[in-house]
Amino acid sequence: MHYDIAIPPTADGALEVTVVSWIKAAGDQVSKGQDLAEATTEKITLYVTAPADGTLSEIIVAAGSKVKVGTVIGVLEGA
């Protein structure tokens, strides 16, 4: 199954985040709930987690990019 990895709503209500880094690389096996990427707002740091077990098949948004909440930043192919 194909899953879009999107920036979740933030605790501080920010509309934009900066993707600071990818913790996992394309091709890595991941478990549901595992941290995939780190993002920040002006007030908080948040982690984007895997929605299911599978393989991180594509990174769409590079580290250092500013994106809106809800933006798809990667793709996971579920097991």
pLDDT tens digits for range 16-74: 999 999 999 999 999 999 999 999 999 999 999 999 999 999 999 999 999 999 999 99
Sorted by where each starts, the structural domains of the chain and their CATH numbers stand as 2-78 (2.40.50.100)
pLDDT at 74: 98
Work out the pLDDT band at 75, boundaries 50, 70, 90: very high
pTM: 0.92
Task: Determine the pLDDT at residue 64.
Answer: 97
DSSP states along the chain: -EEEEEPPPPTT--SEEEEEEESS-TT-EE-TT-EEEEEE-SS-EEEEE-SSSEEEEEE-S-TT-EEETT-EEEEEEE-
At 78 the pLDDT is 84
Q: Is residue 79 over pLDDT 80?
A: no
